[in-house]
């Protein structure tokens, strides 16, 4: 299972990538897409929505089940990846490129509370 070392992770299986402009790009991990199976529907949040950490912001439906996606940090949704709504299977094929939304953190230090690759590998092994 791929866990890139340049990303940070939430225990609820989202990945977060810090961009040069200090925003975070969010997606779901390889482990998550594998466990969910074939993904067929994605519901994304509204741009400009203000979210709290741990708030449900998106929904991913696989053939098997619906899963909530949580905001890994508090902040404002500044962009969503509308392209994946029309190609939800790219989340299975390429989970670390098929991002869901971008968030501008209220507090940039919040990213330090997320797991690194080693920590996430341990979390999913438990």
Partner 1 sequence: MGADALRAGGPFSFAPERSMAKQTPLYAAHLAAGAKMVDFAGWDMPIHYGSQLDEHKQVRRDAGMFDVSHMLAIDVSGAGAQAYLQHVLANDVAKLTEPGKALYSCLLNHDGGVIDDLIVYAFAHDDYRLVVNAGTADSDLAWLRRQASRLHGGNVTLTARRDLAIIAVQGPNAQAKVWAALPGSEAAAAPLQYFQAARFGDLMICATGYTGEAGYELIVPAGRAVEIWQALAAQGVAPIGLGARDTLRLEAGMNLYGQDMDDGVSPLESGLAWTVDFAGERDFIGRAALEAKPAMRALVGLLLEDRGVLRAHMPVFTEHGEGETTSGSFAPSLNASIAFARVPIGVATGDTVEVEIRGKRLKARVTQTAFVRRGKILVTPLISHP
- Residues 18-57 touching partner 1, rule: CB under 8 A, are 28, 32, 35-38, 40-41, 43
From the list 7-15, 45-53, 74-82, 105-113, the region that binds partner 1 by CB under 8 A is 7-15
Q: Is residue 30 within 8 Å of 96, Cβ to Cβ?
A: yes
User: Which residue's CB is nearer to partner 1, number 97 or number 107?
Assistant: 97
| Residue of 76, 74, 80 lying closest to 58 (CA atoms) | 80
How many other β-carbons are positioned within 10 Å of the β-carbon of residue 89? Answer: 13
Shortest distance (Å) from residue 71 CB to partner 1: 12
Tokens read off for 33: 């897409």
Taking phi over 0 as left and psi of -120 to 50 as alpha, with beta for the rest, 48 belongs to: left
Task: Report, in Å, the least distance between residue 79 CB and partner 1.
Answer: 20
Chosen residue from 17, 78, 79, 88 binding partner 1 by CB under 8 A: 88
Closest distance of CB 85 from partner 1, Å: 8
Which of 1, 50, 87, 113 forms a contact with partner 1 (CB under 8 A)? 87
Q: Which two tokens stand for residue 54?
A: 């741990």
103, 80, 81: which is closest to 8 by C-alpha?
103
* Token digits of residue 26: 């969010």
Give the residues lining the site for partner 1 (CB under 8 A): 12-14, 28, 32, 35-38, 40-41, 43, 59-61, 63-70, 85-88
């Amino acid at each position: 299972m791929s866990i890139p070392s340049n990303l940070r992770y939430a225990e609820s299986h989202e990945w977060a990538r810090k961009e040069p402009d200090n925003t975070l790009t969010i997606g779901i991990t390889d482990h998550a897409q594998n466990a969910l199976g074939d993904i067929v529907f994605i519901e994304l949040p509204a741009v400009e929505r203000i979210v709290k950490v741990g708030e449900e912001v998106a929904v991913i439906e696989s053939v098997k089940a619906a899963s909530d996606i949580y905001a890994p940090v508090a902040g404002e949704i500044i962009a969503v990846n509308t392209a994946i709504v029309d190609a939800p299977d790219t989340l299975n094929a390429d989970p670390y490129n098929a991002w869901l939304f971008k968030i501008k953190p209220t507090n940039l230090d919040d990213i330090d509370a997320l797991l690194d690759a080693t920590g996430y590998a341990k979390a999913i092994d438990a």
